[in-house]
Structure 1
Amino acid sequence: MNRLILFATLIVSVSAQFQFFDQFFGSQQQQQQQGGQEQRNVASDSSWFQQNWQQATCSNYLCPDTLACVHFPHHCPCAFPEVEDKVEIGEGIRVCASKGGFKEGETRRKIELARKGLI
């Protein structure tokens, strides 16, 4: 009787382990598939960007880094405004730089200091 209980416990334990691995690897496989199709990484070259660039339509100025359509080049938005500040620096040139601190305008101040050669 004890052997039968031990054997049954062993079978349940092994079965549970296989179910765990099956669910673990099965869920990873499910995550890789979306709507019956496997997700793919974008190309490691610029072909994806070039294709989107060629398909974009804009009657004014198409921003080269965000593909936003704006009236003037310095109106282009930053690609990641949550972590970047846009600073316009003379003659319609704009720069997107990592936010520079806790104070408003810190990025602009640091860029101006760098332009003057002070930092």
Structure 2
Amino acid sequence: MLFWYIALFIAAATAQFQFFDQFFGGQQQGGGQQEKQNVASDSSWFQQTWQQATCSNYLCPDTLACVHFPHHCPCAFPEVEDKVELADGIRVCASKGGFKEGETLRKIELARKGLN
């Protein structure tokens, strides 16, 4: 008799946890919903995308934009980065860091001149 009470308790507990698991999204079954998968934890996705990109000029290594010259490459996140063109056609993208408009560019220019 004690065995049946234990079995009933375990069955009820299991059903309860399955209900909460499904209710809060732990296990999604059916309905055609698929969970998005993370990209690979190595650079294989980027390398494959880079190899498939077509560009007759210069392919920017960080954004995969096709431009005429390397210093024309855009920043990956222009909303939060300022693009700075340095000598010899080099460009860098620096975080705006919450400064007022143009402050990042001014600070980089001062650093280049050694006047931080």
Give the TM-score normalised by structure 1.
0.71
Q: How does 1:1-119 map to 2 (within 5 A)?
A: 19-24=19-24, 27-30=25-28, 35=32, 37-119=34-116
C-alpha spacing 1:77/1:29, structure 2 compared with 1 (3 Å): farther
Structure 1, unaligned stretches of length 5 or more?
1-13
The answer to whether the Cα contact below 8 Å between 1:73 and 1:93 also exists between their aligned partners in 2 is yes
Q: Structure 2: state its 5+ residue gaps.
A: 1-12
Measured in 1, the distance between the counterparts of 2:49 and 2:110 equals 37
Percent identity over the alignment is 83
Deviation at 1:29, TM superposition (A): 3.6
1:77 and 1:71 map into 2 onto residues whose CA distance is 12
RMSD: 2.5
User: Where is the helix percentage greater, Structure 1 or Structure 2?
Assistant: 1
| Structure 1 residues 81-108: Cα deviation after superposition (integer angstroms, max 9, x where no partner) | 1110101112211110000444221111
Q: Using a 3 Å threshold, how does the CA distance of structure 1 residues 28 and 60 change in structure 2: closer, same or farther?
A: farther
- Shift of residue 38, structure 1, vs aligned partner: 4.2
